Amino acid sequence: MQPNRMLPNRSRTSVLVFLLPPLLLYGAAVLFPILQSLFLSFFSWNGISDMEFVGLDNYVRMFVADDIFWRAFLNALLYLAICLVLQLGGALLVASLLTSLRRGRELIKTLYLLPAIISTVAIAFLFVRIYSIDPVGLLNQLLHWIGLGSLERPWLSDVNTVLAAVSAPEGWRFTGLYMLIIYAALIAVPKELEEAAVLDGASRWTLFTKIRFPYIRPVWITTTIMATTYGLRGFDIPYLMTNGGPGQSSELLTTYMYKTAFTSTDFGYASTISVFIVVECLVAVGLILFLLKRKAES
């Protein structure tokens, strides 16, 4: 019946003693708030007056009448795409290159990971200066030097570049984390497999696509899920650097939800957006599992 049970004489009480405190904390901090958000999403409430039940009004407003919501949703998807390319693409590239190095691997791993330990507030300060045009920041100066001076611009106040500009720091920050994970998987690929393929005349590219990548696929799925869920919860850097602006050019669902809740004190509608974000995350994870697993079977 209970294959997991290792202690023959454990009592029911002892299970509760060990399980209840963690479940209470987790319930109070995570599970209950999710249910509460669901509940609040059917109400109109500013935190002070009486709560008013409005049925599905908030959802109708969100899907039908709120242009900012859709704008924020599209922005969030683009933000996610940029983060994924930088984080996973960069991670896979560096991890693969690293396996061909003979020395200095540990040092490079450490250096590459360094941005991950810096707080988002510090990163926001740093990148405001990098993108700055007066006094000229690192990016504009670099463009000037390599002869692309025409591209110089105030990256954070140009509506065409601001979203990419707030996404890049997030990608930059965590690519080292994913690189570590992918690198650990890559060096676990059995050497015999690779050597046999090389003897058979496989090029580096075929070696990668036919041997290495299939071998690390489970880890790749995990990292993709991690990077996606982290990308969808992106908040700090856009909030701190532009607060969603100029206009709504860099508004994400999370920043929009935050402002709806704590600037407009519209708790009901903010909860509706929260519910949407939860559903979005669950759908994203489901999609990744579905797509990547199916590909593995074919």
Partner 1 sequence: MTIQAPPASPPAVVPPRPAVSRRRRKPNLFRTLSRVLIMLIVIVQVYPLAWLFLTSLRTEHDFATGDPFALPSSLTWENYARAFETGDLGRNILNSFIVTMGANILIVLFGMMAAYAIQVLGFRLSKLVRGLFLIGIIVPVQIALVPLFIDYSAVNLLDTYQSMIIPLAGFSLPMSVYLFSSFFEYIPRETYEAASLDGAGPYRIFGLITLPLSLNTVVTVVLVNSIFIWNDFIFANTFVLSEDLKTIPLGLQNYIGAMGKVDWTATFAAVCVTITPLLLVFLVLNKAMIQGLESGATKG
Stretch 163-192 residues interacting with partner 1 (CB under 8 A): 172, 175-177, 180-181, 184-185
* Least Å from the CB of residue 193 to partner 1: 6
Q: Is 98 in the site for partner 1 (CB under 8 A)?
A: yes
Q: How many residues at the interface with partner 1, by CB under 8 A?
A: 112
CB burial string 201-218: b at 16+ within 10 A, e below: ebeeeebbeebbeebbee
Token output for 234? 């992106």
Contacts of 100 (CB under 8 A, 6+ apart): none
Touching partner 1, residues 238-267 (CB under 8 A): 240, 254, 257-258, 261-262, 267
Touching partner 1, residues 42-71 (CB under 8 A): 47
* Position among 50, 101, 146, 297 found at the interface with partner 1 (CB under 8 A): 101
CA-based nearest residue to 153, from 170, 137, 164? 137
Contacts of 87 (CB under 8 A, 6+ apart): 171, 174, 175, 178, 227, 231
For residues 230 and 244, give the distance between their C-alpha atoms in angstroms, rounded to a whole number.
18
Q: Cis bond leading into 246, ω under 30°? A: yes
Binding segment for partner 1 among 31-39, 77-85, 154-162, 289-297 (CB under 8 A)? 31-39
By beta-carbon proximity to partner 1, the closer residue of 15 and 81 is 15
* Least Å from the CB of residue 46 to partner 1: 12
Q: Is 113 in the site for partner 1 (CB under 8 A)?
A: yes
Give yes or no for a contact between 284 and 229, defined as CB atoms under 8 angstroms apart: yes
* Position among 66, 170, 236, 251 found at the interface with partner 1 (CB under 8 A): 236
Binding mask 262-291 for partner 1 (x = CB under 8 A): x----x--xx--xx-xx--xx--x------
